[in-house]
Amino acid sequence: MNILVTGGAGFIGSHTVVELIAAGYSPVIVDDLSNSSPSVLKGLKNILGTDVPFYQEDCNDYVKMTEVVQKHNIQGIIHFAAFKAVGESVSEPLKYYRNNIGSLLNILNVMRANNVRNLVFSSSCTVYGQADVIPVTESTPKKKAESPYGNTKAIAEDILEDSVKAGLDFGIISLRYFNPVGAHPSAEIGELPIGVPNNLIPYVTQTAAGIREKLTVFGSDYDTPDGSNVRDFIHVVDLAKAHVSALNLLQEHTSEPYYNVFNIGTGRGNSVLEIIDTFERVNNLKLNYEIGPRRPGDVIKIYGNVEKAATEMNWRAEKTLEESMEDAWRWQKKISNL
């Protein structure tokens, strides 16, 4: 079955391409390379031993997307392609709404016109904001997003749910990702941030590699066991496999319009300081870090209840935090030639 993977040269997208092939699907990548590198395609080839069909196109382009869907007889889409820098979305909201919402609407229209029924959408635990009760379940109320980026995920979920409610012939699953970390154990693909990383793990690995002088821990006076923020850090290979499970589940629900949403995390919370400690311990090195002020907009703590995915999709994260930290460092060493 041919699956269009938008954003397939990105961090989560590229790992998902590997898992799709392992599960017998045939992925086709569309990526405009606006936040990814062609070197990812080489890494994929090294893992897979074969090229994956690739088109450098913008998902907002109806004609190009239609061409790819028709040429490859696409039967399902995984839509990763989106802008994701939280801070930039605050200063450039229209760029985020136009791209993230526009591309989703475009893809839904292409799907309708070409009888493509199945879609897996990249959502985020950001839709929960700072939840009152943790761990969050899928029925935990969504909160007003802290950023336009977060709002694009909340709005996208509403668009998808409304489309299915209206009886459009879609089978759609939104996956609410927690914090993806790690890299492929082969070190052929991993996270490739452009410029100064916003996210914790690339900042940690770049500091260890000497690219950044020092990591700043954004706050240690929160109401958490050690004072730093708590997140649910999930290995990107586990996260990638959740997309295969979602596609499999969609094939069990073909008789009527179907929409569902799943938390995709480990079910565990780890603090930023625990991450640093684990990274140092498993990789046997010392990280230069300091405690700094809080970062505006950070939720204090969040992790997910992931039983729904286990029960209904037969999916569960399997890798440990230690493996995530080892794989992240192996990848950084590879790209830094260390």
Q: Which residue is nearest to ligand UFG (CB)?
A: 229
**Assigned token pair, 168:** 């459009």
Candidates 35-43, 51-59, 130-138, 215-223; binding stretch for ligand UFG (CB under 6 A):
215-223
What's the closest the beta carbon of residue 225 comes to ligand UFG, in angstroms?
14
How many C-beta atoms surround the C-beta of residue 166 within 10 A? 9
Annotate 85-111 with b (16+ C-beta within 10 A) or e (fewer): bbebbeeeeeebbebbbebbebbbebb
Q: Is 242 in the site for ligand UFG (CB under 6 A)?
A: no
Q: How many residues bind ligand UFG (CB under 6 A)?
A: 18
Which residues inside 150-209 make contact with ligand UFG, applying CB under 6 A?
Answer: 179, 198-200, 203
Q: Is 266 in the site for ligand UFG (CB under 6 A)?
A: no
Considering beta carbons, is residue 11 or 170 the nearer one to ligand UFG? Answer: 11
321: exposed, middle or buried (C-beta count within 10 Å: 0-12, 13-18, 19+)?
Answer: buried
Q: Catalytic positions, please?
A: 149
Q: Is 218 in the site for ligand UFG (CB under 6 A)?
A: yes
Q: Which of 322, 306, 121, 128 is nearest to 235 (CA)?
A: 322
Among positions 15, 84, 235, 268, the unique one binding ligand UFG when judged by CB under 6 A: 84
Among positions 36, 140, 229, 278, the unique one binding ligand UFG when judged by CB under 6 A: 229
**Assigned token pair, 200:** 């914790």
Q: Is 124 in the site for ligand UFG (CB under 6 A)?
A: yes
* C-alpha 89 chain-centroid distance: 17
Sign, Cα dihedral of 29, 30, 34, 35: negative
Considering beta carbons, is residue 75 or 271 the nearer one to ligand UFG? Answer: 271
Considering beta carbons, is residue 51 or 158 the nearer one to ligand UFG? Answer: 158
Among positions 261, 272, 273, 321, the unique one binding ligand UFG when judged by CB under 6 A: 272
Considering beta carbons, is residue 37 or 220 the nearer one to ligand UFG? Answer: 220
Among positions 35, 99, 126, 270, the unique one binding ligand UFG when judged by CB under 6 A: 126
Cα separation of 328 and 184, whole Å?
8
Q: Which of 65, 61, 100, 78 is nearest to 8 (CA)?
A: 78
Cα separation of 75 and 117, whole Å?
7
Which residues inside 37-56 make contact with ligand UFG, applying CB under 6 A?
Answer: none
Among positions 295, 308, 316, 334, the unique one binding ligand UFG when judged by CB under 6 A: 295
Q: Is 89 in the site for ligand UFG (CB under 6 A)?
A: no
How many C-beta atoms surround the C-beta of residue 215 within 10 A? 21
What's the closest the beta carbon of residue 104 comes to ligand UFG, in angstroms?
16
Among positions 216, 220, 248, 320, the unique one binding ligand UFG when judged by CB under 6 A: 216
What's the closest the beta carbon of residue 123 comes to ligand UFG, in angstroms?
9
Q: Which of 62, 61, 58 is nearest to 32 (CA)?
A: 58
Which stretches within 92-145 are classed as H helix? 93-96, 102-113
Q: Which of 121, 182, 114, 117 is nearest to 155 (CA)?
A: 121
Element (DSSP H or E) covering residue 67: helix 62-71
Q: Given the rule CB under 6 A, which residues bind ligand UFG?
A: 84, 86, 124, 126, 179, 198-200, 203, 215-218, 229, 231, 272, 295, 298
